[in-house]
Amino acid sequence: MKYRLIAFIFTFPFLLISCDKEYKSDNEAIEGNWIEKTELLDYEELSFDGKDTLSFTTRFPCRYVGCEKYLYRLNDKRTKLYLWLADDPDHNKSTHKIHIDTKNNELTIWGLHAAAPDIAQKFKKQ
């Protein structure tokens, strides 16, 4: 009995240490600033705050065009992005297929603009 107690006392701390997992946010892969990869003069910036707010900014060289605030969620598999305007009381959501390439720091979003639902836009993380 004495040996079992000693063995338990020495192995229990190792069990506790091995079970300690670092908490990672579900949105960690997407949070940060993203710049659209385009050859056009105007481009878009996405800024995910890591919680639930997306700042969607359209820029033109030497001039700021506009910024909209959205609330967002990712599905469990991180393949869909749900967006709705932050000040929309009805919470009309839009759903967008996404692909996050963490190796190359690239984000692809399909149908970001309602006028072009099948167009994929690529963004590079800053």
The tens digit of pLDDT for each residue in 62-96 reads 666 778 889 999 988 889 999 988 887 677 888 99
| Tokens of residue 114, six digits | 């309602």
Indicate the pTM of the whole model: 0.72
What are the CB-based long-range contacts (under 8 Å, 24+) for 70-75?
72/27, 72/48, 74/26, 74/27, 74/30, 74/98
Q: What is the pLDDT of residues 10-37, one digit of tens each?
A: 776 666 566 644 445 567 888 999 999 9
Which CATH number describes the domain made up of 27-125? Answer: 2.40.128.360
The listed range with the strongest mean pLDDT (2-11, 30-39, 114-123) is: 30-39
* Cα–Cα distance, 104 to 69 (Å, whole number): 26
Distance CA 78, CA 15 (A): 31
Distance CA 58, CA 35 (A): 10
